A and B are shown apart, each in its own frame.
Chain A
Amino acid sequence: MPNALIPPDVRARLRELRIVSRRSAGGDGLGQHASRSRGAGLEFAQYRAYEPGDEPRRIDWKLYARSDRYFVREAERDSPLDLWLLLDATASMRQADLARPDLAKFDAARSLAACVIDIALRQGDRFGIVAIAGSTPLAIPLGSGARHRDRCLLELARVQPAGAWPQGSAWQAAGARIASHALVLMLSDFFDKSAFEFVRRLAGAGREVLTLQMLAADERDFPFAGGRRFIDPESNAQRRVEASAVRADFLARFAAARAALANDCAALGIRHAEYVLDEALDAPLRRLFSALGARA
């Protein structure tokens, strides 16, 4: 299953990628991310006086030789990361290119999720998945390990994009389940204003949020010609236009909308990247995590 979602060349390049939080990870247990909690690790934190019960091997014997007292060397403990993957599964994610009608945005989002889970698994991080809307509800709590990955991908494969962005307070509750120290990666086309509103709330509540806007190549290039009736898959709204006549206008307005989204994200401290369907899968992840990876 993971092999089907991630092409081999992408899988090879994924090894270079690391998911790193800007902030200290707060999770329990041993991980690869810097944390506030002290314990065994490489980064020196402090010396403290020996207390009975401390492991003898943690006593700094060189310091004992100088000071004739027992000191225990403490280091910052590396912690695992809590990673939440939020997938937009509304009907608009059904969008595919004319050139590749079998590859919808949601398929690409699934593959990207598989890539991210692959990296998280390698790093020992915990991950969970929530699909928003969609044919079947999907909410898998945090977990780690290969079995958890397989479960996530299996469940994800069942979800088909359908429906519109849910209204009401249900999603505030879902957001509340995400702990404040967790890293949230949202895969959506952000065509619906509610999607960005949701992300804005998460970020405002202190979570570190990354957004990946899924775009179709047709939306970037608008290769249509002749008379077209465009149908919105979510609202079933129709627009009958002469495609070649509206192309320039659409491209300008769409580019402005994308730029506005990127601006809003930057203003909220949200890491934002775009993914166009004809790109390689690791390209957006590289853009998204490259600045973060520098610290590791």
Chain B
Amino acid sequence: MNPALLAPLGLAALAALALPLLIHLVRRLQLVDTEFAALRWISPRAQPRRRLRFERPWLLLIRLALLALLALLLARLVSLAPTADTNADWIVVAPGADLGAAHTRVGAGGEWHWLAPGFPRIDANAAPSPAPAASLLRELDARMPAGSALRVVVPETLGGLDGERAHLSHALDWIVVPGRSPSVPDAAREPVVLHVRYADDEANALAYLRAAVAAWNVREPNRYSLDAQPVPATAPDDARWLVWLAPDFPSSLTSWVERGGIALVTHRAEKDAAPLWQASDGSVIASEQSLGAGRVIALPNALAPSDLPLLLDAAFPNQLLAAFRGERPAPDRAFAAAAEPDRVAANVATTPALAGNNAVALDAWLAIAIAVLFALERIVATMRPREAEA
């Protein structure tokens, strides 16, 4: 077990150790009375030295230990379980790699683990879901014993990368086998219905929306459709995109948005919302606000060319689509051969992983020890000093 401190600043409490030291410090002149007849030949000039001495040293030790334990408690002493499961025999396979090809490249020896959170063994577990491969590589690098080499089997197309090429302190055996990392299930293929609910005086806006949906279908044929109904009707529960062209946004729809829907609402001014579209003079013409799991795209006025000149712009369909889709995730896939991590030459001291799940809190034991020490301190402190008994 490796002791570690979660809050090392708590050790500043060790400064309190000075208190019992000061209390017990006796700067006393210790003189032994001696009857000595030949006194007149002793020179009176050599004054006796004062000696530093600690009174009742056992009590002092107990008090110091008590304070030290309190400081450790403040510093959140934890015990790290040994990371003995990490050893040089490991062969780590990123999900999506062809296991058969990996076995022929590496051989059957060694322990095979998935490059997945917790590094599960391969034989016991099915292929895990996609995971941030770069982050896991760094974690593995930190947990491996010093001096060993990492053996990582990756598919040709590796997912879960991030913007920074990984820098590892261990030697790396980067084995690329055929395959590709499983990707996040792509919801983009599903057909999407844009539900439009409109008040009668805003029915003119339907034409622009139909044009936009038609424009979307040019790039992705037959994927988008429009469902337009007048106001009293609300959106069905399985609807994902909704355009509300009426002054009042019912509260039932608010809860629908909070469950994950995306709504474009006119006549709605959001004060603290993030600007989505801005006019050339900088004024906000559409804003966006997260609401629960969903979003509301708010237009302060009606969806009409007089209020929203953007409506007549050729880029409007794309902008509308982007507004509904929201941000796309950053690209995280690359050819594995190109994403091979660097080895940093710097002599990085690898510390045992401070993963929260294998750190055992020792607070209870510390508290027990403190209580025992406190009881002991009280007993010793109230004991009559031996000199007084004599």
Contact = CB atoms under 8 A, between A and B. Distances in A.
B38 interface: yes
B44 to A, nearest CB: 6
A197 interface: no
Contacts of B43: 241, 246, 249-250, 253
Given A242-B49, A250-B43, A253-B43, A229 B34 contact: yes
Interface residues of A, number: 32
Contacts of A95: 35-38
Nearest to B36: A230
B47 A228 contact: no
- Of the four ranges (under 10, 10 to 19, 20 to 34, 35 or more), the interface on chain B belongs to 20 to 34
A75 to B, nearest CB: 50
Given A242-B46, A242-B48, A245-B46, A228 B41 contact: no
B30 interface: yes
A233 B38 CA distance: 10
B39 A219 contact: no
Interface in B2-48: 29-48
Contacts of A82: none
A232 B48 contact: no
Interface in A214-256: 216, 218-219, 224, 226-234, 237, 239-242, 245-246, 249-250, 253-254
B2 to A, nearest CB: 48
A246 B47 contact: no
A238 to B, nearest CB: 8
A211 interface: no
Interface string A157-198: 000000000000000000000000000000001010000000
B37 A240 contact: no
B36 A232 contact: yes
Given A229-B34, A245-B46, A237 B29 contact: no
B235 to A, nearest CB: 96
Nearest to B32: A228
Given A239-B44, A241-B46, A242-B47, A226 B39 contact: no
A231 B34 contact: yes
A229 B35 contact: no
B384 interface: no
A35 interface: no
B34 A233 contact: no
A257 interface: yes
A94 interface: yes
Contacts of A219: 36-38
Contact of B48 (A227, A231, A250): A227
B30 A231 contact: no
A240 to B, nearest CB: 5
A290 to B, nearest CB: 28
A217 B193 CA distance: 117
B42 A241 contact: yes
Given A226-B30, A250-B41, A231 B46 contact: no
B37 A241 contact: no
A188 B45 CA distance: 29
B35 A94 contact: yes
B38 A227 contact: no
Contact of A189 (B35, B37, B42, B46): B37
B51 interface: yes
25 contacts: A93-B37, A95-B35, A224-B34, A227-B29, A227-B30, A227-B31, A227-B32, A227-B48, A227-B49, A227-B51, A229-B31, A230-B34, A230-B42, A231-B35, A231-B36, A231-B39, A232-B36, A232-B37, A237-B39, A241-B42, A246-B43, A246-B45, A250-B43, A253-B41, A254-B38
Interface of A: 91-95, 189, 191, 216, 218-219, 224, 226-234, 237, 239-242, 245-246, 249-250, 253-254, 257
Given A216-B37, A232-B36, 5 more contacts: A92-B37, A95-B38, A227-B48, A234-B37, A239-B44
